[in-house]
Chain A
Amino acid sequence: MEKKKRFLKLNITGLIMMIAVMLIIAGCAQSSGTSGNTGSSKEESSSGLLKIGFILSQTGTFAPLSEGIINGFKLYLEEHNGMLGGKKVEIKVEDDEANPQVALRKYRQLVHSEKVDILVGPISSAVVYALRDEVEKDKKVLIDANAAGDDLAWSKKSNYVYRASFSNWQNGSSAAKYLANNVGKKAVILAPDYPAGKEVLRAFKAAFEAAGGKVAKELYPKLNTNDFAPYLQEASAENPDLIYAFFTGSDGIRFVTQYKEFGLKGKIPLAGALEFGDELITQPTGEAAEGIITGINYSPYLDNEQNKQFVEAYKAKYGKLPNIFSVEGYDSAAMIDKAVAEAGSVRSEDLIKVLKGISFDSPRGPITIDPATNNPIQNFYIAKNELKDGVIVPKVIEMVKNVTMPETSPFE
């Protein structure tokens, strides 16, 4: 008996210590991956060559987003004989693993060793804020191809960073007024518990309440939630007129699928940020995404001449429909093309003069880089997902023209 007693005691303490170790390991566990390097050349940047360095997240959750950006960019290059602004382009792609520290290392490699002229990327807002301080110091132009953090247009605005995508504020506020006026006044809103989630909901709430709506409850599940059951039940128990949600990637796919599983589809209208109208989510969820109302800034079904050509070319090259990220890559290339042509140079000091206020036509509609925020002024489209021949097509109900970020943060 004496022996057994000692044994039990040892086991309990041992186990608890193991748990602690385990938790630390689980917390620190980071998926690591190798970085891709697309054919290197030792050639120094000369007047005839334009070197562009990409910092994207090619491993983990953001991999499909990065792939879309690269695909779009390469398509634009191909359509323009590999030239931007009259210069032959060479590109280098680096993987930041969605980690600011890794991104800074890759940044130094691209800027100091490879001597790239212009940077394109990143996916994550945390990364863009880290890069922002560096490009400001080195006076290097960064075309923000995706990261949507609001502060990049406000307190962290930089003369060297120009956004090709959209901001969380634009994403969250675009559909709010329509929803308050046409769907209902009482909403429950949900987003992952991280900066982008908070920013999108903050923008939605402000615009929704300004239009006479009322947010009854805000729920923030952690990022990478597998099971939304408790949140869905909590949201539906409020009996709201609508549920508004922002979830991206696999979180978005699971949320939309579970919304149907828990019988909320068809009972409470679901509305969401532009991701819920994008191919990346609507394609894998299929029927479950039917009926969702979104404020999108792009869809391959948008009816304009340039988009038709873009979709045709994209389908021919990659065998699938483009998504919003493909357009972000395509437009990043268009922005650089126009800026280099106008500046007649690849020097940052010359480029930033023309990037402010630059405008061009994109498959998503006309784009103007707002000199007040360095954020694109663009149209958003209120759309409802419809099931047509087994695929989800966001049907445009209404256009919100020239969605422009306020010059300074309305939340301070």
Chain B
Amino acid sequence: MSIFYAQLLTGLAYGMLYFMIAAGLTIILGVMNVVNLAHGTLFMLGAYIAFTFISDELNFWIALLLSVLLTAVLGIILEKLLIKHVYGKELEQVLLTFGLSFIIADVVKWIWGTEMQTLSAPALLNASLSIGDMVFPLYRLFVVFIGCLLALLLWYLESKTRIGAIIRAGVDDRAMVGALGINVGLVFTGVFAFGAALAGLSGVLGGPLIGMYTGMDSEILVTSLIVVVIGGLGSWKGSFISAILIGVIETFGKVWFPSLSMLIVFLIMIVVLIIRPQGLFGREVA
């Protein structure tokens, strides 16, 4: 029986990682109505930046902090320079962010090469825990913990703070919020930077789990888009549930039907979309 729990825990760790990635994507989507297809690339960039710092003998936690900061700064630059010109124009957004993802991916290849790399988990968490007769690496539990922490933080920000109130209002009626004297442009920049920082954070935390390689950006993007679609566009709560669902199902699928594990994820998406076209937690379309 303990194999079942161990696999469940592995799936949960994946799910939390997917949640961390999808959260940034879905927040940007929900607040700004921007589909940021460069999100996977920011994830990759976060991991590689941390990799460089750690290769320079820097502490994992400092590397993590610096990566998150740098991806956030990059987010601000991208938003100020490019994204802000395409608000409300969906096709342009898709083309712009998709193009960006190619450019950044090529830059990553150019700087770091095409060889597969792995981030090593921080020394503090480089231990294992026994669960029955199964052993589980501590680092994965840490990823689960951070995922839960992030969910709590998002809940708090959304429902208990002024920023959350502004954002909620801004989603419903942007013009009204603007009329109240709130700088919507600034809020949007902040949200985009926050989303980019989340991508960077999950990149660093995911490094020890899934490694770093060329093509990881599009793989992650596909997974997180699926998470977001299943969960309901723009709903981080939906992403939380669907990320866990996908992480767990994918893990079991890998063992039970190794060659079908990706297909299963798509099947879930199709079923969900047939039953609830707006996604599990999507806003009811009246």
Q: Which of B90, B218, B222 contacts A10 (CB 8 A)?
A: B90
Query: In the bound complex, do residue A237 and residue B3 qualify as a contact, i.e. CB atoms below 8 Å apart?
Result: yes
Query: In the bound complex, do residue A15 and residue B215 qualify as a contact, i.e. CB atoms below 8 Å apart?
Result: no
Answer yes or no: A316 CB below 8 A from chain B CBs. Answer: no
Query: In the bound complex, do residue B222 and residue A22 qualify as a contact, i.e. CB atoms below 8 Å apart?
Result: yes
Chain A residue nearest to B88 (CB atoms) is A7
Find chain A residues with CB under 8 A from B225 CB: 15, 18-19, 22
Instruction: Report the minimum CB–CB distance from B161 to chain A (whole Å).
Output: 25
Chain A residue nearest to B137 (CB atoms) is A261
Most B Cβ at <10 Å: residue of A193, A220, A231, A250:
A250
The interface bits of chain A over 198-230 (1 if a CB of B lies within 8 angstroms of the residue's CB, else 0) are 000000000000000000000111101011011
> In the complex, A7→B251 CA distance in Å?
34
Answer yes or no: B94 CB below 8 A from chain A CBs. Answer: yes
The interface bits of chain B over 11-52 (1 if a CB of A lies within 8 angstroms of the residue's CB, else 0) are 000000000000000000000010101000000000000000
Residues of A1-53 whose CB lies within 8 A of B: 1, 4-5, 7-12, 14-16, 18-19, 22-23, 25-26, 29, 31, 33
Number of interface residues of A (CB under 8 A): 47
Q: Is the contact region of chain A dominated by helix, strand, or loop, or is it mixed?
A: helix
Instruction: Report the minimum CB–CB distance from B136 to chain A (whole Å).
Output: 7
The interface bits of chain A over 330-373 (1 if a CB of B lies within 8 angstroms of the residue's CB, else 0) are 00000000000000000000000000000000000000000000
Answer yes or no: B280 CB below 8 A from chain A CBs. Answer: no
Instruction: Report the minimum CB–CB distance from B204 to chain A (whole Å).
Output: 15
Answer yes or no: A63 CB below 8 A from chain B CBs. Answer: yes
> In the complex, A4→B211 CA distance in Å?
40
Find chain A residues with CB under 8 A from B159 CB: none
Answer yes or no: A99 CB below 8 A from chain B CBs. Answer: no
Query: In the bound complex, do residue B255 and residue A262 qualify as a contact, i.e. CB atoms below 8 Å apart?
Result: no
Answer yes or no: B286 CB below 8 A from chain A CBs. Answer: yes
Answer yes or no: A234 CB below 8 A from chain B CBs. Answer: yes
Query: In the bound complex, do residue A263 and residue B128 qualify as a contact, i.e. CB atoms below 8 Å apart?
Result: yes
Chain A residue nearest to B253 (CB atoms) is A230
Find chain A residues with CB under 8 A from B222 CB: 19, 22-23, 26
Stretch at the interface among B56-64, B67-75, B110-118, B238-246: B110-118
> In the complex, A267→B279 CA distance in Å?
45
Answer yes or no: B285 CB below 8 A from chain A CBs. Answer: yes
Query: In the bound complex, do residue A230 and residue B211 qualify as a contact, i.e. CB atoms below 8 Å apart?
Result: no
Residues in chain A within 8 A of chain B (CB atoms): 1, 4-5, 7-12, 14-16, 18-19, 22-23, 25-26, 29, 31, 33, 59-61, 63, 193, 219-222, 224, 226-227, 229-231, 233-234, 236-237, 250, 254, 261-264, 267
> Known contacts A7-B33, A267-B135; can you find 13 more A-B pairs with CB under 8 A?
A18-B98, A18-B225, A26-B222, A31-B214, A221-B254, A224-B213, A230-B252, A230-B254, A230-B255, A233-B3, A234-B3, A237-B6, A263-B134
